[in-house]
Amino acid sequence: MALPALLLPLLLAAAASAAGDGCRSGCDLALASFLIARNQNLTYIAELFAIRDYRSLGPYNPQYPNLDFIPADATVNVSFPCGCRSLPREPAATYLAGSFPYLVRSGETYDSIAAHFSNLTTAAWLAATNTYPATNIPDTGVTVNVTVNCSCGDPGVSKDYGLFLTYPLRDGQTLAAVAANYSFSADLLRKYNPGMDTNTSGLVFVPVKGQHFYLLLCDPNCGQFSSILGF
């Protein structure tokens, strides 16, 4: 199905820039590659990302015909809105990320919280994006914002991609290995991920090709999806 012309401005205009270069606006949708740990299941992962029903992840995981039977140690694509946010202590510094409320339990640290998120965030990044100092997270009933970086694309690189997968390099992987695995041009992937050429850890942003994917349009507060369009 052809993408209705109406939607194109929505996809492209939102494509501010990669995380870190500052942003003016976000985009409705980004994906994150989540490696499921032994003690996790999809219900739990959906909760982490404030997704009401894990079954809504079906369209982003065409490899799994049935989301109720996913082995541990598998990766699952999680969807989230990618917003333009600013650092609490430096409001002019903007970045693109999803932000998910996490209810802190007694004794937790940014390290232990980040550990639930499959290397999609780090303790240092949680400390930078929350008002509580790392050494002084209140123990009772507070939430911290778990921040997962994302990209809406970069018209300066290519106007063809508006949906990106946040992918944590795993087991010493490089950008080139990720490009090969997703059958994507390594050159283009480098352009979307400046400074990550030889890195073997950290996040990379992988453009997602259209044909198997769906655009979920959310209502203004992204609480509920109002329509689904395949493209």
Ligand X SMILES: *[C@@H]1O[C@H](CO)[C@@H](O)[C@H](O)[C@H]1NC(C)=O
Give the residues lining the site for ligand X (CB under 6 A): 19-20, 35, 37, 41, 43-44, 61-64, 75-77, 88, 95, 118-119, 121-122, 125, 130-132, 144-145, 149, 165, 170, 181-182, 195-196, 199, 201-203, 208
**Phi, psi at residue 88, to the nearest 5°?**
-60, -35
Query: Closer to ligand X at the Cβ: 84 or 121?
Result: 121
Q: 14 and 162 in contact (C-beta within 8 Å)?
A: yes
Query: Closer to ligand X at the Cβ: 135 or 226?
Result: 135
Residue nearest to ligand X (CB): 20
CB of 33 to ligand X, least distance (A): 6
CB of 203 to ligand X, least distance (A): 4
CB of 129 to ligand X, least distance (A): 7
DSSP string, 165-198: EEEE--TT--HHHHHHHTT--HHHHHHHSTT-SS
Query: Closer to ligand X at the Cβ: 159 or 212?
Result: 212
Our measurement of the distance from residue 84's CA atom to the centroid of its chain's CA atoms, rounded to an integer in Å, reads: 13
C-alpha span between 69 and 78 (Å, rounded)? 16
Q: 114 and 74 in contact (C-beta within 8 Å)?
A: no
Query: Closer to ligand X at the Cβ: 64 or 225?
Result: 64
Query: Closer to ligand X at the Cβ: 131 or 226?
Result: 131
Q: Quick one: which of 182, 163, 162, 122 has its CA closest to 146? A: 122
CB of 26 to ligand X, least distance (A): 13
CB of 216 to ligand X, least distance (A): 15
Query: Closer to ligand X at the Cβ: 3 or 35?
Result: 35
**Phi, psi at residue 150, to the nearest 5°?**
-150, 175
CB of 145 to ligand X, least distance (A): 4
